[in-house]
Amino acid sequence: MTAIRVGHLYPDYLNIYADRGNIAVLAQRAVWRSHELEVTAIGMGDPIRAGEHDLYYVGGGQDREQLLVAEDLLGKASALREVVAGGAALLAVCGGYQLLGRGYRGFHGEDMPGIGLLPLETVAGERRMIGDVLLECELEPGERRTLAGFENHAGRTRLDPGAEPLGRVLAGFGNDGESGFEGCRAGRVIGTYLHGPLLPRNPWLADWLLSQALAHRSGGEPPQLEPLPDELERQAHEVSAGRARARGGKF
Amino acid sequence: MRPRPPLALEIGAARVVAALSRRVGAGGGTTIPGKLLAQLDPGAVDRLADRLPAGTAIVSATNGKTTTAAMVAEILRPRFRLAHNAAGANLVSGVASALLAADHAELGLFEVDEGALPELLRRLRPRAICLGNLFRDQLDRYGELELVAERWRTSVDDLPDDAQLVFNADDPQLAAVGKARPGSVAFGLDDPRVARPALQHAADSTYCLTCGAPYEYAAAYVGHLGDFRCPNGHHERPPLEIAAREIELQGLERASFLLDTPEGSNRVELALPGLYNVYNAVAAAALARALGASVEEIAAGLHRFSAAFGRFERIDVGDKRLLLLLVKNPAGANEAIRTLVDGGSPRLLVVALNDEIADGRDVSWIWDVDFEPLLTRLEQLVASGGRAAELALRFRYGGLDAAAIEVEPSLERALDRGLELTPPGAELVVLPTYTAMLGLQRLIAERGLALPYWERSG
């Protein structure tokens, strides 16, 4: 009966790819395991304080909204670095993912600063990379799982040497359309371009995040969560994965 | 360079293709002849449009452009012979096909895809343009809303001075476009009684274009459409020249409003539900007025239109009835749902989600739709279409019990299952995305229940 405390960063600004679907999945899957899940919005000017949240979420926005929050996020950078070092989990999708890197370099100098929480940077590309994606991930040694989703980004994200990607691209563009990798993972922090939204059709990742959040809450090891039937989730994953295999990664 | 064949020859060839396309049952031939013509000679559209003695008029919007253009067509029918892409084929090829199909037309009236608007404005050089709304829609196809708005701004700037722009002043993006063009006409809604208590989840364009502050709304009607103002005084809804006032909504059946224009007012009765149709009607009124229609002609035309339109969405199937409501993006779907809830929320629902190009391949938008108001009374959902399972998850995580959800990707089996669960004398509500709607209409036509869309009179 532990309440998982989720801090949702800028929900009024960064919500373009149905980010609330990810939140709904986290909340329901916690409740189905008899945990409570409280979501607090962290908006412009709101502080981030150590110990207040177990899991943070940053979604994607349109360019204009993203620029509006980028500056505010700089003011939260050191606090965010501190809570993550303290074991809080974080999921950042699309625009949120770019903001966690060192920044976004546009074509005409319309740069967007990032907070450098993840070892990567993003530069504008000429053609948007749009389509279905399928990844293979191994967040826990020996546990290979697939993630299916949809990507839509102009930015090419390059990971620093030695940085850990979220997964290997089985179909789709991924970070930059060249490296064969997608997303970035650093401990309990995950950044990715995959929306769709990400978690409904990939419930194992939702459970992994909940488990990391519970570990932060209790100060112990990530617990094993009771399995759920997930039949609809499996079907949705299969259809999405099939779309990626058939038509992902093509301009 | 290849010599250009004479226009008459091209027209002949393209018409033969249209007839063949219909004969082999490949659809209505609504875009194929136009595609052929565009390939033979891309400039043919320009020249075909030039031959129209009364010029052309254009409607573009994310939501409601087919309905708005059909309303304008009905209002203007007594005045003009029209070339009109009534079946909703709204890219360059569809416009070319409509031009080919209409002999002796006087006025071209075209609904135009948001992405195709810049090119068609250049080619058709319309005398009147109606910009209805911009909502987030098919981000995978159109890109972000801001980009679409920017392209619209640029192409409106390039219009000749004598082209008349009418614009929805309740949409902050369009209000900016309209204000930048002297002589353009603002339309909108003005009745805070029917406003929403708060902006919806998926609201777009809610931050000031100049300073980024959230707009304050004296009234928010549909999505981000409403009486907005920037708290720092940069931007606000311009005064309305054409307004819908004293709006009365009557569930799933009707809506009525007082149409206010500088020339006078007239009560408009629509046999169509929902605030979104009031927006469509006031947009149609503004464009028809720009093309010379009087307030009386407008009210009469809208009345005639709604009498014909009722048959479009409701189809009798034995002792049961089907109600088809197209859903294709969060704002449109939210309005369909609001209308359903106002009319007595259904206990059974068939929802069909496809992910073809015309639907948008990215289905994430369903998570931005507020389906939740339906859940209090919903007892059974039949989820259908290519992405039926994803749709089922949307309702499952929205709080609908797993036992209340059936997944049936086949449209035909989902329709039959829905009808089987519908008691005699009752109505089955079906919410399909665009290609699912076409699929259902085809099924219904095959069973001899209604005419396919290309055979319906305009």
Q: Taking CB atoms and an 8 Å limit, are B396 and A17 in contact across chains?
A: no
Q: Taking CB atoms and an 8 Å limit, are B364 and A12 in contact across chains?
A: no
Least trusted range by pLDDT, from A119-128, B155-164, B303-312, B375-384: B303-312
Q: Is the pLDDT of residue B456 over 70?
A: no
- Rounded to whole angstroms, the Cα distance separating A34 from A210 reads 12
Q: Taking CB atoms and an 8 Å limit, are B139 and A64 in contact across chains?
A: no
Q: Taking CB atoms and an 8 Å limit, are A196 and B363 in contact across chains?
A: yes
Beta bridge partners of A39: A6
Which three-class secondary structure state does DSSP give residue B302? helix
- Rounded to whole angstroms, the Cα distance separating A212 from A90 reads 9
User: Closest chain A residue to B400 measured between Cα atoms?
Assistant: A28
| Tokens describing residue B66 | 């087919």
Chain segment B93-139, per-residue pLDDT in tens: 889 889 888 878 999 999 999 999 999 999 999 999 999 999 887 76
Residues of chain A neighbouring B393 (CB-CB closer than 8 A): 200-201, 232-233, 236
User: Closest chain B residue to A196 measured between Cα atoms?
Assistant: B364
Residues of chain A neighbouring B145 (CB-CB closer than 8 A): 62
Beta bridge partners of B164: B128
Where chain A has pLDDT below 70, the residues are 1, 108-110
pLDDT at B457: 38
Q: Tell me which residue in B140, B144, B407 faces A235 most closely, judged by beta carbons.
A: B407
Residues of chain B neighbouring A196 (CB-CB closer than 8 A): 362-364
pLDDT at B5: 60
Residue A128 at interface with chain B, using a CB cutoff of 8 Å: yes
Q: Tell me which residue in A128, A233, A243 faces B393 most closely, judged by beta carbons.
A: A233
State the DSSP H helix or E strand holding residue B228, giving kind and residue range, or none if neither.
strand B225-229
CB pairs under 8 A between A and B: 93
Q: Tell me which residue in A15, A68, A130 faces B212 most closely, judged by beta carbons.
A: A68
Q: Tell me which residue in B145, B146, B207 faces A68 most closely, judged by beta carbons.
A: B207
Chain segment B179-188, per-residue pLDDT in tens: 999 999 999 9
Beta bridge partners of B214: B207
Among residues A35, A195, A216, A237, the one annotated as catalytic is: A195
Mean pLDDT, chain B, rounded, equals 87
pLDDT at A174: 98
pLDDT at B369: 94
User: Closest chain B residue to A62 measured between Cα atoms?
Assistant: B144
Q: Taking CB atoms and an 8 Å limit, are B392 and A232 in contact across chains?
A: yes
CATH of B7-311, one of 3.40.1190.10, 3.20.20.70, 3.10.20.90, 2.60.40.420: 3.40.1190.10
Q: Taking CB atoms and an 8 Å limit, are A235 and B364 in contact across chains?
A: no
Q: Tell me which residue in A63, A200, A233 faces B146 most closely, judged by beta carbons.
A: A63
Chain segment B19-63, per-residue pLDDT in tens: 655 554 445 556 667 777 767 677 788 888 999 999 999 999 999
Nearest CA-CA distance, residue B200 and chain A, Å: 11
| Tokens describing residue A62 | 């349109």
Q: Tell me which residue in A18, A233, A238 faces B367 most closely, judged by beta carbons.
A: A18
B155-171: average pLDDT: 95
Q: Taking CB atoms and an 8 Å limit, are A195 and B143 in contact across chains?
A: no
Among residues A35, A53, A94, A237, the one annotated as catalytic is: A94
Chain segment B320-344, per-residue pLDDT in tens: 989 888 898 888 899 889 888 988 8
* Residue for token pair 């970070």: A175
ipTM: 0.96
CATH of B318-455, one of 3.90.190.20, 3.40.50.300, 2.130.10.10, 3.40.1260.10: 3.90.190.20
User: Closest chain B residue to A12 measured between Cα atoms?
Assistant: B201
Q: Taking CB atoms and an 8 Å limit, are A236 and B355 in contact across chains?
A: no
Q: Which of A22, A62, A94, A251 to mutate to test the interface with B (most CBs of B within 10 A)?
A: A62
Residues of chain A neighbouring B386 (CB-CB closer than 8 A): 239
- Rounded to whole angstroms, the Cα distance separating A118 from A160 reads 9
- Rounded to whole angstroms, the Cα distance separating B199 from B226 reads 10
The reply to whether A184 belongs to the active site is no
- Rounded to whole angstroms, the Cα distance separating B173 from B133 reads 8
Residue A151 at interface with chain B, using a CB cutoff of 8 Å: no
Amino acid letter for position B199: L
| Tokens describing residue A227 | 């399995």
**Residue B176 — φ and ψ, nearest 5°?**
-65, -40
Stretch(es) of chain B classified as CATH 3.90.190.20:
318-455
Stretch(es) of chain B classified as CATH 3.40.1190.10:
7-311
Residues of chain B neighbouring A240 (CB-CB closer than 8 A): 390
B205-212: average pLDDT: 84
With cut-offs at 50, 70 and 90, classify the pLDDT of residue B442. Answer: confident
- Rounded to whole angstroms, the Cα distance separating B77 from B83 reads 11
Least trusted range by pLDDT, from B71-80, B238-247, B250-259: B250-259
Chain segment B253-292, per-residue pLDDT in tens: 789 999 999 999 999 999 888 899 999 999 999 999 999 9
Residues of chain B neighbouring A203 (CB-CB closer than 8 A): none
Q: Taking CB atoms and an 8 Å limit, are B139 and A152 in contact across chains?
A: yes
Residues of chain B neighbouring A236 (CB-CB closer than 8 A): 387, 389-390, 392-393
Say which CATH class A3-247 falls into: alpha beta
Q: Shortest CA distance to B404 belongs to which of B443, B374, B438?
A: B374
User: Closest chain A residue to B392 measured between Cα atoms?
Assistant: A232
- Rounded to whole angstroms, the Cα distance separating B101 from B30 reads 9
Residues of chain B neighbouring A238 (CB-CB closer than 8 A): 389
With cut-offs at 50, 70 and 90, classify the pLDDT of residue B450. Answer: low
DSSP string, B280-300: HHHHHHHHHHHTT--HHHHHH
Domain boundaries, chain A: 3-247
- Rounded to whole angstroms, the Cα distance separating A117 from A189 reads 9
Contact criterion met (CB below 8 Å) for A53 and A88: yes
- Rounded to whole angstroms, the Cα distance separating B451 from B442 reads 9
| Tokens describing residue B346 | 């259904």
Q: Tell me which residue in A63, A195, A232 faces B407 most closely, judged by beta carbons.
A: A232
Residues of chain A neighbouring B203 (CB-CB closer than 8 A): none
Residue A124 at interface with chain B, using a CB cutoff of 8 Å: no
With cut-offs at 50, 70 and 90, classify the pLDDT of residue B452. Answer: very low
